[in-house]
Amino acid sequence: MTVPLLRIRNLTKNFGGLTAVNDVSFDVHEGSIVGLIGPNGAGKTTVFNLVTGNYKASTGTIAFREKMLGGLRTHRIIRMGIARTFQNIRLFQQLSAVENVLAGRHCRTKAGPFAAMLRPPGQRREERASVAKAIAELEFVGLREQGMEMAKNLSYGNQRRLEIGRALATEPKLLILDEPAGGMNEQETDQLIDLIRKVRDRGITVLLIEHDMRLVMRACEKIVVLEDGKKIAEGPPEAIKRDPRVIEAYLGVEEEE
């Protein structure tokens, strides 16, 4: 078995008396699409926030390409090759779509304030390359035409795509998507599944949280199920669908609604 891209071991996070994530372990292998599911409040987003350094783990380890992420600040983790989107879209609302994607180029470029003021050839070249790369990512997520639009003026589905574009601009090895289909209609979700597969075909591993079971079952090769902060199942979609604990904990809840 090859070394996993992301290895999570015995991860625990306490918020005061509440244990949001409780002794969770799983692997994400390179080139796969992995889903993290579970009822609301199961601790899925907390796991993401631990991976990207927004929270510090109480105990347990996260290794990315065999390097420990514990204690690193978020921007360092992003530069190592993990990019993410947010559950409640966090775009730079007052900025254009291009400028949003350019944010992702930041960690791959280096011109500082003096270069900005004096504009030596290197700075100009870097700036041009950044813009071209940003445009290429906009094209990839299907927003080339909306490049000049302010982010807040985009439709909900397009805002989610723009966030993916911004994340891709950081040239990640692992892309973490937090409810990418949230607020999308059926057609938009279908397009999103295509997009996620296209991302994977670029050699980028995908880890996602999603409530839309159609998307999870169709797109993911492996699913990890959390309930009350604990991992209750892990496996391919078919096995997860039949797992009695998952049906009881997760699908059962949905039937009651």
Partner 1 sequence: MKRGLALAYLALALLLAAAAMFLNAYWVDVLNSVGLYALLALSLNLILGDAGLFNMGHAAFYAVGAYTAAIINTKYQVPILWALPASGLAAALFGGLVARPVIHLRGDYLLIVTIGMGEIVRIALVNDVFGLTGGPNGIFGISRPVVFGHKIHEPQDFFYLIWGFVALTVFLFHRLGQSRFGRALNYLREDEVAAEGSGVNTARYKLMAFVLGAAWAGMAGSIYAAKMTIISPESFSFWESVVLFMIVILGGSGSIPGVLLGAFLVVGLPEIFRGFATARMLVFGLVMMVMMVFRTQGILPWRAVRFKESDIVKAEAAQ
Strands 6-15 and 18-28, bridge-based pairing: antiparallel
**Cα angle 175, 70, 91; round to 5:** 40
Give the residue, chosen from 11, 36, 69, 167, that forms a contact with partner 1 under the rule CB under 8 A. Answer: 167
Indicate whether 153 belongs to the interface with partner 1 (CB under 8 A). no
Give the separation between CA 35 and CA 221, rounded to whole angstroms.
Answer: 8
User: Residues 56, 60, 64, 67: what is their CA dihedral angle, to the nearest 10 degrees?
Assistant: 90
Q: For partner 1, which stretch binds (CB under 8 A), given 32-40, 103-111, 180-188, 191-199?
A: 103-111
Q: What is the 3-state secondary structure (H, E, C) of 8-47?
A: EEEEEEEECCEEEEEEEEEEECCCCEEEEECCCCCCHHHH
Residue with Cβ nearer partner 1 (33 or 101): 101
Indicate whether 147 belongs to the interface with partner 1 (CB under 8 A). yes
Indicate whether 117 belongs to the interface with partner 1 (CB under 8 A). yes
What is the DSSP secondary-structure string of 85-120?
--SS----TTSBHHHHHHHHHGGG----HHHHHH--
**Residue matched to tokens 């795509």:** 161
x/- map, 40-69, partner 1, by CB under 8 A: ------------x-x---------------
Give the residue, chosen from 4, 5, 35, 86, that forms a contact with partner 1 under the rule CB under 8 A. Answer: 86
Indicate whether 221 belongs to the interface with partner 1 (CB under 8 A). no
Spell out a b/e string for 33-52, using b for 16 or more CB atoms within 10 Å of the CB, else e: bbbbbbbeebbbbbbbbbbb
Q: For partner 1, which stretch binds (CB under 8 A), given 26-34, 62-70, 108-116, 230-238?
A: 108-116
- For the bound state, the minimum distance from the C-beta of residue 80 to partner 1, rounded and expressed in Å, comes to 10
Indicate whether 74 belongs to the interface with partner 1 (CB under 8 A). yes
- For the bound state, the minimum distance from the C-beta of residue 72 to partner 1, rounded and expressed in Å, comes to 12
- For the bound state, the minimum distance from the C-beta of residue 208 to partner 1, rounded and expressed in Å, comes to 16
Helix (H), strand (E) at residue 160: helix 156-168
**Residue matched to tokens 């900025």:** 95
Give the separation between CA 31 and CA 206, rounded to whole angstroms.
Answer: 8
Residue with Cβ nearer partner 1 (84 or 222): 84
DSSP designation for 173: S
Indicate whether 71 belongs to the interface with partner 1 (CB under 8 A). no
Give the residue, chosen from 19, 25, 39, 92, that forms a contact with partner 1 under the rule CB under 8 A. Answer: 92
Residues that bind partner 1 (CB under 8 A): 52, 54, 73-75, 78-79, 83-84, 86, 90-96, 98-99, 102-109, 111-113, 115-117, 119, 123, 126-132, 135, 147-148, 150, 166-167, 170
